[in-house]
Copies of this chain bind each other. A is one copy, B any other.
Amino acid sequence: MIIETKKASFNQPLYLESGRVLQEYEVAYETYGHLNSDKSNVIIITHALSGSHHAAGYYEGDRKPGWWNDFIGDNKPIDTNKYFVICMNNIGSCFGSTSPQSIDPSTSEAYRFRFPVLTITDIVKAQISVLKSLDIHSVHAVIGGSMGGMQALCYAIEYPDFAKHIVALATTAYTRPWAIAFNKVVTEAIRKDPDFKDGYYNTEDIKENGLNGLAIGRMAGHISYLSPSSMNDKFGRKYVNQDGLYELFGRFEVERYLEYNGYNFPHNFDPLSYLYIMKTMNIFNASRGSDTLEQSLSTITSKLHLLSFSGDLLFKPEEMEEIYNTMINIGKEDLVTYKMIDSDYGHDAFLVEVDKFGDYIKNLIEDN
């Protein structure tokens, strides 16, 4: 399926959790499938840190599909013959929605570091605006993994009558220091890179030449998305050049993988956006504003489906179990399901192990 990006623009302000305001904002999004007459077939897909609204299908001329293309499409688990699927680029991200590189209307220059810190709540709030503009006031399901799972939880807690089903994969109720620590490496690597120019880099220069700090930080990120055993399976101790064992910079395959993914990344991702999005993850806390997680989950009326992956070190199964157990403790056992998927893929499993959870999710949301 050939996809085009749409854009929703808002001239009214978005009031942010921090107390700050975006005077105007826009959100890039894509849709797959067709809205039915009573608008009862809408599924929202929420994306992760480096993801985009391009979740499925192909752009004209592209050979690489959207990031969850195995999961979403005609006759796929999220069947676009049946559902009308919407995926929106998170505000703060760099694929068309309002971001630190957008023009600040009060100065007519890019915000850069004048951009306000966003939260997951803010990101979802902007998505709700888009849906309202499409005259959509409730949805069949919200589905997301990792930072997308944080958004899914946010829908469940803050918009209790909005979705019949919430499916959160490989995420957490509040980000732990292990994940914050990896983000810290990226943050420092970006900020200390002279080419970052304290945020006043030329965007085209970065797109063309990359940015070592973001590249190196992204390498650390990739470690956090994998696991010791997934790396063993994927790379072993294979050497790129067998003769290079005694060359100081001779490389193992795992090093080539990190170089490739690290150094390519800044050509396609804005460093300021990365800083702001990591921040939304670091400070995500599903119980903020409540005294306890029990209290914040008590508002939920959607069916909440939780999936974790056994080898995920970034958002460990026990973090998902904590949400599940809290739901049980507050008497919401009828509203919650939990499944740990056995996988050696680490955190990346939510992207690459669709075979293991696709039909499971399809069935979870089918009967309602």
Q: Which residues of A contact B (CB under 8 A)?
A: 17-20, 113, 116-117, 174-178, 180-182, 184-185, 187-189, 191-192, 194, 212, 215-216, 219-220, 222-223, 226-228, 231-232, 234-237, 245-249, 252-255, 258-259, 262, 275-276, 279, 282-283, 285, 313, 316
- A156–B175 CA distance with the chains assembled, in angstroms: 44
Q: Is B188 touching A228 in the complex (CB atoms < 8 A)?
A: no
Across the interface, which residues of B come within 8 angstroms of A223, CB to CB? 178, 181-182, 185, 220
Interface centre among A17, A116, A189, A253 (most CB of B within 10 A): A189
- A283–B242 CA distance with the chains assembled, in angstroms: 12
Across the interface, which residues of B come within 8 angstroms of A212, CB to CB? 188, 192
- A152–B109 CA distance with the chains assembled, in angstroms: 61
- A330–B228 CA distance with the chains assembled, in angstroms: 27
Q: Is B184 touching A255 in the complex (CB atoms < 8 A)?
A: yes
Across the interface, which residues of B come within 8 angstroms of A18, CB to CB? 246
- A338–B222 CA distance with the chains assembled, in angstroms: 33
Q: Is B216 touching A178 in the complex (CB atoms < 8 A)?
A: no
The listed residue (B177, B236, B255, B282) touching A181 by CB distance below 8 A is B255
**CB-based nearest B residue for A239:** B283
Across the interface, which residues of B come within 8 angstroms of A249, CB to CB? 187, 191
Q: Is A117 touching B316 in the complex (CB atoms < 8 A)?
A: no
Q: Is B181 touching A248 in the complex (CB atoms < 8 A)?
A: no
- Knowing A185-B185, A254-B184, the reply to whether A192 touches B177 (Cβ < 8 A) is no
Interface centre among A113, A175, A228 (most CB of B within 10 A): A228
- A185–B311 CA distance with the chains assembled, in angstroms: 22
Q: Is B258 touching A185 in the complex (CB atoms < 8 A)?
A: yes
Least CB distance from A313 to B in Å reads 6
Across the interface, which residues of B come within 8 angstroms of A313, CB to CB? 228, 313
Q: Is A232 touching B177 in the complex (CB atoms < 8 A)?
A: yes
State the majority secondary structure of interface residues on A.
helix
Least CB distance from A241 to B in Å reads 13
Q: Is B228 touching A216 in the complex (CB atoms < 8 A)?
A: no
Q: Is A248 touching B185 in the complex (CB atoms < 8 A)?
A: no
Q: Is B188 touching A246 in the complex (CB atoms < 8 A)?
A: no
Across the interface, which residues of B come within 8 angstroms of A254, CB to CB? 177, 180-181, 184
- A252–B284 CA distance with the chains assembled, in angstroms: 13
The listed residue (B185, B236, B279, B283) touching A216 by CB distance below 8 A is B185
Across the interface, which residues of B come within 8 angstroms of A246, CB to CB? 17-20, 116-117, 283
Q: Is A285 touching B237 in the complex (CB atoms < 8 A)?
A: yes
Q: Is B276 touching A188 in the complex (CB atoms < 8 A)?
A: no
Interface centre among A116, A231, A245, A248 (most CB of B within 10 A): A248
Least CB distance from A335 to B in Å reads 26
Q: Is B192 touching A194 in the complex (CB atoms < 8 A)?
A: no
- Knowing A247-B117, A259-B188, the reply to whether A177 touches B252 (Cβ < 8 A) is yes
Q: Is A216 touching B245 in the complex (CB atoms < 8 A)?
A: no
Across the interface, which residues of B come within 8 angstroms of A237, CB to CB? 174-177, 285
Least CB distance from A259 to B in Å reads 7
Q: Is B117 touching A181 in the complex (CB atoms < 8 A)?
A: no
Across the interface, which residues of B come within 8 angstroms of A282, CB to CB? 252
**CB-based nearest B residue for A223:** B181
Across the interface, which residues of B come within 8 angstroms of A188, CB to CB? 212, 215-216, 219, 258-259, 262
